[in-house]
Amino acid sequence: MTMDAAHASHAPCPCGSGEPIGTCCGPYLSGETVAPTAEALMRSRYSAYVCQKISYLKDTLWPKYQPGFDEAATAAWASESRWTGLKVLSTSGGQTADRDGTVLFEARYLSGAKLTTHRELSRFRKKAGRWYYVEALEEK
């Protein structure tokens, strides 16, 4: 491990957990392990945008949607945005014993000179022991 990599693993995780990335989202982003809950997957997907791990976003998308994933456009959007924070507002299901779950969150980012708050109720589903992002749902 290089000195930069060692330092990076102790840096705060972009997901806002307060943990170092090396013990939070880092192992998911590197493929070392899979996220154990829907919330952990959602947080790691946010971190993937921040860290520009676009292939992780595709790999954690529900398999039937992966062929339509636009890696180039997603990479451009992720790199042109300055990610400023994530707040998890609520979760339903999505625990290790569940097969489905939802996470309501707000992700903040600067694009150009505009600060945007993206609020989404995300649906997640587990298949073969691995969580995937399925879709954004309408809040009720």
Q: How many domains does the chain have?
A: 1
Q: In terms of residue numbers, what domain contains 25?
A: 3-137
Strand order in the sheet with 130-137: 81-93, 100-111, 114-127, 130-137
DSSP state of 15: T
Which pTM does this prediction carry? 0.92
**Is the CB of residue 102 less than 8 Å from the CB of residue 92?**
yes
Q: Are 45 and 60 in contact (CB under 8 A)?
A: yes
pLDDT > 90 in the chain, percent: 89
Measured CA to CA, the distance from residue 126 to residue 87 in angstroms comes to 23
pLDDT for the residue 139: 76
pLDDT confidence band for 54 (50 / 70 / 90): very high
> CATH number for the domain including 55?
3.10.450.50
Work out the end-to-end distance of the chain between its first and last CA atoms, rounded to an integer number of angstroms: 47
